[in-house]
Amino acid sequence: MEANPRSTGRLPAAFLTPGSSSFMDFLSEHQPAILPGNRQLPPMKGVIEAPHGTTIVAATFPGGVVLAGDRRATMGNMIAQRDIEKVFPADEYSAVGIAGTAGLAVEMVKLFQLELEHFEKVEGATLSLEGKANRLSTMIRSNLGMAMQGLAVVPLFAGYDVDREKGRIFSYDVTGGRSEEHGFAATGSGSIFARGAMKKLYSKDLTEDQATTLVVQALYDAADDDSATGGPDVARRIYPIVTVITADGFRRLTDDESSEIARSILERRLEQPDGPRAALL
């Protein structure tokens, strides 16, 4: 009888056999039940109440891209969480903002992070930014069964393309369809309001500071009209998560930096509640 690898201190044969550089392919072959897309669910009866609802926004500027998200999660007409984190680093030069069912979205991000790390360790090089975007597209498509039952995940992916030396943004639909966005993008329940704000305020020659202010302005406008999006909460000191990705890599703004941007916007909104006005011509 073959000895149990655990009792002998050896790794199982699956870990020692050369194979694909994709961690998802590895799981598909050896532990397919772990992958979210392979879970068998009973027919849904009624509505599944799970934390969801959000607004994620992104904007490019010369030298990089900014990705930001609000902090509210809702469950029906209730606020499920006020300080949830929805923007995560994917690797050194990219990040993901999640929208949709919170639990499944966070799990997908963790698997995506592991997928990119596994590829880099096996191949000795990182995927191109488009390659990363395609991998995420495949993962979203594998969640289609859950999405058909009302548990969709629709993230926003942004990163710095080291080959083209610029920031890029990719959006997705519920089936995993991928589209590259130019300039700015938004996803989530308040995205229509955020896009409207950015459409009037965005310009290609924004500085990094202006880009971070732009995305927080957009989140504020989204929160103003969408109950599932939370605006800056000064009383609880809860502010949007704002990240910047440049040639120097991923960086998340500190709470002090985010609060400074949010407070400056709030002060201006006391005079102009609807936000800054764009020129007519």
Q: How far apart are CA 3 and CA 53, in angstroms?
A: 50
Q: Rounded to the nearest 5 degrees, what angle is found at the Cα of 95, between the Cα atoms of 144 and 148? A: 10
The three-state secondary structure class of 261 is helix
The phi and psi torsions of 187 (rounded to 5 degrees) equal: -145, 160
* CB neighbour burial string for 68-105, b if at least 16 within 10 angstroms, e if fewer: bbbbbbbeeeeebeeebebbbbbbebbbbbbbbbbebb
Q: How far apart are CA 28 and CA 115, in angstroms?
A: 13
195-204 own/partner pairs: CB under 8 Å, 24+ apart:
196/221, 197/221, 197/222, 197/275, 198/57, 198/59, 200/278, 201/276, 201/278, 202/59, 204/62
User: Active-site residue 187, yes or no?
Assistant: no
The three-state secondary structure class of 269 is helix
Q: How far apart are CA 155 and CA 261, in angstroms?
A: 24
Q: How far apart are CA 110 and CA 256, in angstroms?
A: 27
Residue type at position 168? R
CA distances from 261 to 19, 89, 268 (A): 48, 21, 11
Which of 8, 17, 54, 74 is catalytic? The answer is 54
Check if the beta carbon of residue 99 is closer than 8 Å to that of residue 86.
yes
Active site members? 54
